[in-house]
Structures are given as structure tokens and as C-alpha cells.
Amino acid sequence: MLTEPGFKWNSILEIQNNLQDYRIVKQEVKKKIHFHVNAALTTASIGKCIQRNGLKRSLRLTYSISDLTTELFNHNLLKRILSIYPIDANIKINDNVIRLVLDYGKIAA
């Protein structure tokens, strides 16, 4: 086979180069997938921390990305409203009302 008169060594070298390129691309794709999976898991963990902020540890909490996005939207809206009007959000009496506003629109899971 390799000793046949019409055999081209260039084709073997091209195949080897293509395999090498394939392996490099495969490694790069693996790295990208690992990065995106790690980023998604990190985002979910940070989201849980944000949603858990200010609540007792003994309180059981259901978690969903939808609820987190709703709470963050409500938080930004509340922050904007409180910056316009002279209402102090840090007063202890406002904690329950602020929690109700942050939970508004969440899906019951």
C-alpha cells in the first residue's frame, strides 16, 4: 500500500494536519463549553445569594431565575422611586413593606 508507485505522501501529511487542527478546535470548544457552564452555575449561585439577602437562614426559600429577575427589577424600580421621594428605606418599619414590594409579581413555585 505505502510502497505503491502512485501513493502520495502529501495526502498523509494533509490528513495528519487536519487531525491536528481538529484536535485543537475540539479542545478550544471544550474550553468554551466549560467556561459557559461555570459562568451559568456562578450566576445561579450569586442569584441565590442576592435572593437570600436579608432573610433568616432558617427560612425555607424556593428559587427560580424568573423570581430573581422580577426581584431585581422591583429593587431597581423601588430604588428609583425612593431616590425621587424623601422616604428612608433603612428605617426598620419599612422592612416589611419593602419585602412586599420586592416579592410583587413573583411566580408561586
Dist. CA 25–CA 17, nearest whole Å? 12
pLDDT (tens digit per residue) in 62-84: 777 788 888 888 888 988 888 88
Who contacts 7 (Cβ-Cβ below 8 Å, separation ≥6)? 1
pTM across the whole model: 0.51
pLDDT (tens digit per residue) in 14-40: 777 777 777 888 888 889 999 999 998
pLDDT category of residue 57 using cuts at 50, 70 and 90 = confident
Cell readout for 19 is 487531525
Render the burial of 12-27: b for 16+ CB within 10 Å, e for the rest.
eeeeeeeeeeeeeeee
